[in-house]
C-alpha cells in the first residue's frame, strides 16, 4: 500500500523519484498521490509512539496544546537547531496523514524556525526538550488552514501530532558563519566539488519570514552552479566545496554571507538568514 507524503521537505523529492502518480501539492512540492482520501491508519505502524498516561499539559492562547507523556532531561530546543524526531500526524478522526514510518525511516531531521512543516510546528518545538514525548494539538490556523491538502487533509482540519524529540544534530561544518549539515553522504563517490567544478543540484530555499519561497523541484530542472558565478551568494558556494553527487545537504547562511543589509526584493528581509535544502545531482 502506498501513501501520500507531506513529510519533511528534504525527503519529498527523493520519495517522489521512486513513486507513481506524482503531482504537486498546494505549495508546489512533489508528492506521491497514490492514496485515496479517507484511508484510515492507526498508530500500530509506529508502536514507539503509542500514547501513555499524560503527565503534564500546557494550553496556549493561540489554541495550540501540548500534552507530555514523558518529560525529557535534555536541552531546550531552540530556533535554528536541527533535531531528529520520530512523529505521526493525525486528523481528529484518527486518519494518519504523515509520519516518518511512511518513508520507512525511524526518525527524520527537523530545522526549527524555517517553516519545514506548518507554523504550529515551529511554535511547539521551542517548548520542548530533547527526550520529550508529546502529543500536540494544532488548530487548523496553525496547521494547513483553509486550503488543507487536496485529497488528504480537508480544509480547516485540526491536526494532532505525536512526537518524540530524539537528539540534536550538530552542523557537520561551520564556514564563516554558514552552518552545513551533511545529512546523507555518498561514501562511494570520490569526485568532490572544487572551485573549478560545476555543481547541478535541486534545492528548496527560504528565510524565517518567507519559508520555501523557491523550489527547483517544481520546475523539474536542477540548478547549475559554477563557483565563478556572480549571482550565487558566497555562503552557498563555501558550503558546496567538497560536495559529491547524491549528497543531501542543509545550509543555513548568515546575512553577511547572503543578501546582507539590502535583503532580496520582497523575498528576503534585510539582515535575514537564508536556508537551503539541497540534493546534489552531479559534480563535473
Task: Kindly state the average pLDDT of the residues 257-265.
Answer: 97
Number of Cα atoms under 13 Å in the Cβ half of residue 220: 5
Query: Which residues, listed in sequence order, are joined to residue 204 by a DSSP beta bridge?
Result: 215, 277
Classify burial at 269, counting beta carbons within 10 Å of its beta carbon; exposed 0-12, middle 13-18, buried 19 or more.
Answer: middle
Residue 177 Cα to chain centre, angstroms:
21
Confidence of residue 45 (pLDDT cuts 50, 70, 90): low
Q: Residue 217 to residues 28, 116, 201: CA-CA distances in angstroms?
A: 8, 15, 10
Q: Is the pLDDT of residue 5 over 90?
A: no
Task: State the pLDDT at residue 75.
Answer: 94
Task: Kindly state the average pLDDT of the residues 196-218.
Answer: 95
Classify burial at 184, counting beta carbons within 10 Å of its beta carbon; exposed 0-12, middle 13-18, buried 19 or more.
Answer: middle
Q: Is the pLDDT of residue 220 over 80?
A: yes
Instruction: Report helix, strand or coil for 7.
Output: coil
Percent of residues in the chain assigned helix, strand, coil, to nearest 5: 15, 35, 50
Bigger pLDDT: 87 or 24? Answer: 87
**Over the chain, what is the mean pLDDT?**
86
pTM, two decimals, is: 0.84
Q: Is the pLDDT of residue 38 over 70?
A: no
Q: What is the DSSP string of 174-241?
A: EETTEEEEEEE--TT------TT-EEEEEEEEEESSSTT-EESGGGT--EEEETT-TTS-HHHHHHHT
What percentage of the chain has pLDDT greater than the value 70?
84
Classify burial at 284, counting beta carbons within 10 Å of its beta carbon; exposed 0-12, middle 13-18, buried 19 or more.
Answer: exposed
Q: Is the pLDDT of residue 4 over 90?
A: no
Q: Is the pLDDT of residue 30 over 80?
A: no
Task: State the pLDDT at residue 133.
Answer: 98
Task: Kindly state the average pLDDT of the residues 253-271.
Answer: 97
Bigger pLDDT: 93 or 7? Answer: 93
pLDDT tens for 114-128 read 999 999 999 999 999
116-135 in b/e burial notation, b at 16+ Cβ within 10 A?
Answer: bbbbbbbbbbeebebebbbb
Task: Kindly state the average pLDDT of the residues 161-173.
Answer: 97
Confidence of residue 265 (pLDDT cuts 50, 70, 90): very high
Cβ distance 235 to 251 under 8 Å?
yes
Q: Is the pLDDT of residue 82 over 80?
A: yes
pLDDT tens for 149-159 read 988 999 999 99
Q: Is the pLDDT of residue 223 over 80?
A: yes
Domains assigned to the chain: 47-169 (3.10.50.40), 173-283 (3.10.50.40)
What percentage of the chain has pLDDT greater than the value 90?
80
pLDDT tens for 92-141 read 999 999 999 988 999 999 999 999 999 999 999 999 999 999 999 999 99
SS3 of 56-106: the string is EEEECCCCCEEEEEECCCCCECCCCCEEEEEEEEECCCCCEEEEHHHHCCC
Amino acid at each position: 500500500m502506498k501513501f501520500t507524503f507531506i513529510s519533511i521537505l528534504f525527503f519529498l523529492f527523493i520519495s517522489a523519484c521512486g513513486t507513481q502518480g506524482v503531482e504537486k501539492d498546494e505549495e508546489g512540492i512533489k508528492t506521491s498521490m497514490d492514496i485515496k482520501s479517507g484511508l484510515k491508519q492507526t498508530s500500530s505502524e509506529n508502536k514507539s509512539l503509542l500514547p501513555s498516561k499524560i503527565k503534564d499539559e500546557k494550553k496556549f492562547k493561540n489554541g495550540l496544546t501540548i500534552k507530555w507523556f514523558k518529560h525529557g532531561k535534555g536541552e531546550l530546543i531552540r530556533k535554528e537547531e536541527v533535531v531528529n524526531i520520530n512523529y505521526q500526524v493525525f486528523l481528529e478522526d484518527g486518519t494518519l496523514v504523515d509520519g516518518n514510518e511512511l518513508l520507512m525511516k525511524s526518525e527524520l531531521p527537523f530545522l526549527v524556525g524555517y517553516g519545514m512543516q506548518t507554523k504550529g510546528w515551529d511554535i511547539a518545538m521551542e517548548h520542548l526538550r530533547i527526550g520529550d514525548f508529546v502529543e500536540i494539538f494544532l488548530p487548523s490556523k496553525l496547521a494547513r488552514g483553509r486550503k488543507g491538502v487536496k485529497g488528504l487533509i480537508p480544509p480547516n482540519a485540526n491536526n494532532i501530532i505525536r512526537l518524540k524529540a530524539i537528539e540534536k544534530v550538530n552542523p557537520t561544518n561551520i564556514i564563516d558563519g554558514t552552518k552545513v549539515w551533511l545529512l546523507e553522504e555518498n561514501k562511494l563517490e570520490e569526485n568532490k566539488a572544487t572551485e573549478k567544478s560545476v555543481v547541478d543540484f535541486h534545492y528548496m530555499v527560504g528565510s524565517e519570514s518567507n519559508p520555501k519561497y523557491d523550489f527547483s523541484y517544481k520546475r523539474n530542472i536542477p540548478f547549475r552552479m559554477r563557483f565563478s558565478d556572480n549571482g550565487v551568494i558566497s555562503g552557498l558556494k563555501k558550503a558546496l566545496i567538497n560536495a559529491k553527487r547524491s549528497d543531501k545537504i542543509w545550509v543555513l547562511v548568515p546575512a553577511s554571507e547572503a543578501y546582507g543589509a539590502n535583503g532580496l526584493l520582497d523575498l528576503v528581509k534585510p539582515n535575514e538568514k537564508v536556508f537551503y535544502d539541497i540534493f546534489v545531482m552531479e559534480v563535473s
